[in-house]
Structure 1
């Protein structure tokens, strides 16, 4: 049996979990690489290089599907999503250069909670009391991490929360786009619109990059691209609520990288608060999955499923999402 055949013989749910594990490791590596690159480059430059090199890396994957797949009638929504991407990159990358990367990772888990709030308050979606309770619990976890009153609320922590709000915007817009747009289209427009826009703040803080710094920036883009593709594959193979718990391992990997390369040791409050925030986000995803299942049950019965890997045009939907950063 060939390696490919052995891999296909592994249950789809387990393969999905392994891909999410790869994604968590890749995004943790990206955080560490951003921190390392920020020692030589301004975070705005790193953000520009991340989008530039990431777009170049994704181009073959996108164009392989054919140019007809990237035509769109929803340019306005793509532009809105790109705005969220730009803002989330600028704020999160700046925060990573100023604070322990594990603390930033813990606070970044708030994005699905802000997405739930936005869905209910802005889009008018029905958000039940259980999901609102989960949001409150998650925000309590945020309080545990930053501990206002015990320590001064730092600017970097606020930057991460602002970044999470913009990631929530990306999540909500992506949910709208996913009804008509394949992921290749979403990824391509994100890169084409975000890269030139990010060049403007990068030029304001531009320093001549060394080849080593460019190498770190390419590493950031590569890790982010691998993470993105791994998430897509994970959700093609398994339900979001089945693989999302593995995403918490990102905090573990970030803590390892922070200790190994930057002598950063996250305190116990970061672990407790991060677990509370992540657990709340996981519960909101579960309730969203239940709601979708109930909605499908009221609709006409669907045809028999061709299998978890039959659809290759777009990933399964989710209430939470890994930031495009």
Structure 2
């Protein structure tokens, strides 16, 4: 699994930009249009397209991670991926206001470092789940992470969680039980892997909110990439193994895909509010199901489809309730 600017994998929302057009229309239509006039841009529509594109790339990355993780140690694969990601983080932060010096400064260094290490560990656990359970079954269980965030928001952040969201959490876990129907092939000890990954990603998301009270998003982005890269290197360097020539293009595609997907996420959150884009991140589940069936020969069992739909529906309800509460607070 998925990065740090991901909502529920698991990110930090940017302030919402103005929703109006980039250029105000002139009072009178000129006789001849100015040669450099720009067309009006649908900022939210463009942001939605970017989120959907990033979801497709992340789903493709999951498929590549499953393929490589079955041949090489997942820790080794994730280490190489994090090296590339660390370079990407440095480039992005260097171009941001304040540069690298500003990105390094934090009021919560230990929490920031722990976030990065936790995310790296979550990615390893999730990739291992891909290999053992497949893409579809793993994502059907992992999709409960927004519900875990709602359940843990009270004790961790002191947020008030109403009975409606608690009910959604209960319904979501009912969906997990449907996915884990005995005899379905998923109800095994290995099913704990995606659930553990979901818990780790939920805690990571809550800590991201916590540090966001004192640090800007650029700082969290920097610490996520760098502390994760350092931690995974200390472990992964002992799992080094030669890479077959046929797998090098897939490894490069995995690394480049991560950079492209994160770039699209950054741009999307510059154009629209994170809360408005959250539901579209679930399109990753659609692509994962397609890749799992078409490429890896997985089967979308009826109980997995039904349980996954219930989990996603409960997650979307918690998102809707959060937006309602935010609007009520503003009014």
Normalising by structure 2, what TM-score? Answer: 0.81
The answer to whether the 8 A contact 2:173-2:311 is kept is yes
Which residue of 210, 223, 248 corresponds with 2:257?
Answer: 223
| Aligned counterpart, 1:42 | 73
Which residue of 233, 249, 256 corresponds with 2:290?
Answer: 256
The answer to which of 92-101 and 191-200 deviates more is 191-200
Which residue of 258, 266, 289 corresponds with 2:323?
Answer: 289
* 1:155-197 superposed Cα distances (whole Å, 9 cap, x missing partner): 3321111011110111111112223323222122112111121
Q: CA separation of 1:10/1:268 partners in 2, compared to 1, >3 Å: closer, same or farther?
A: farther
| Aligned counterpart, 1:243 | 277
Matched, 1:163 2:197: yes
| Aligned counterpart, 1:19 | 50
| Aligned counterpart, 2:59 | 28
| Aligned counterpart, 2:91 | 60
Which residue of 129, 133, 144 corresponds with 2:167?
Answer: 133
| Aligned counterpart, 2:7 | none
Which residue of 217, 236, 240 corresponds with 1:202?
Answer: 236
Matched, 1:82 2:113: no
In 2, Cα distance between equivalents of 1:149 and 1:35? 24
In 2, Cα distance between equivalents of 1:252 and 1:152? 19
| Aligned counterpart, 2:11 | none
In 2, Cα distance between equivalents of 1:48 and 1:149? 36
SS state at 1:16 partner: helix
The answer to whether the 8 A contact 2:107-2:215 is kept is no
In 2, Cα distance between equivalents of 1:60 and 1:289? 33
In 1, Cα distance between equivalents of 2:272 and 2:150? 22
Unpaired runs of 5+ in structure 2?
A: 1-33
In 1, Cα distance between equivalents of 2:264 and 2:303? 30
SS state at 1:98 partner: helix
* 1:184-230 superposed Cα distances (whole Å, 9 cap, x missing partner): 22122112111121123324433222344343233223223332332
* 1:271-305 superposed Cα distances (whole Å, 9 cap, x missing partner): 222221111112112212222222233xxxxxxxx
The answer to which of 256-265 and 39-48 deviates more is 256-265
Q: CA separation of 1:227/1:106 partners in 2, compared to 1, >3 Å: closer, same or farther?
A: farther
Q: CA separation of 1:275/1:257 partners in 2, compared to 1, >3 Å: closer, same or farther?
A: same
| Aligned counterpart, 2:212 | 178
Calculate the aligned-residue CA RMSD, in Å.
Answer: 2.4
In 2, Cα distance between equivalents of 1:154 and 1:215? 34
Q: CA deviation at 1:151?
A: 5.0
In 2, Cα distance between equivalents of 1:199 and 1:44? 9
The answer to whether the 8 A contact 1:43-1:97 is kept is no
Normalising by structure 1, what TM-score? Answer: 0.83
Matched, 1:124 2:155: no
